[in-house]
Amino acid sequence: MELTPDILKKLIKSAQMATDQEIGCEECFDELHEFAELELAGKSPAEAKPLVQDHLDKCGSCREEYQALLEALRNIENDN
């Protein structure tokens, strides 16, 4: 992978947005099912798990995983 000026800008921006209280992809992934269940229950997952919400706001890969999980759970609910 070549480090283009655009990629470097994105890396610098990500580093600047980092806080002391963050979770990584693995921890976020471990909590996605609870986050989704809260949303399906009509509760506020962002209030209950703000670090997960923060990670999803910043990480496209985890956000895609979450959206896929949420869609699958909704389909299961609709089938029952």
Strands of 8-74, DSSP E: none
40: which DSSP letter? H
**CA distance linking residue 76 with residue 19, whole number of Å:** 36
Residue 14 has pLDDT above 80, yes or no: no
- List the structure tokens of 14: 């990500």
pLDDT in the model for residue 12: 72
- List the structure tokens of 31: 């909590």
Residue type, 43: K
Mean pLDDT of the chain: 89
**CA distance linking residue 80 with residue 40, whole number of Å:** 14
What is the arithmetic mean of pLDDT over 40-48?
A: 96
Of 8 and 79, the structure prediction assigns the larger pLDDT to 79
Judge if pTM exceeds 0.85. Answer: no
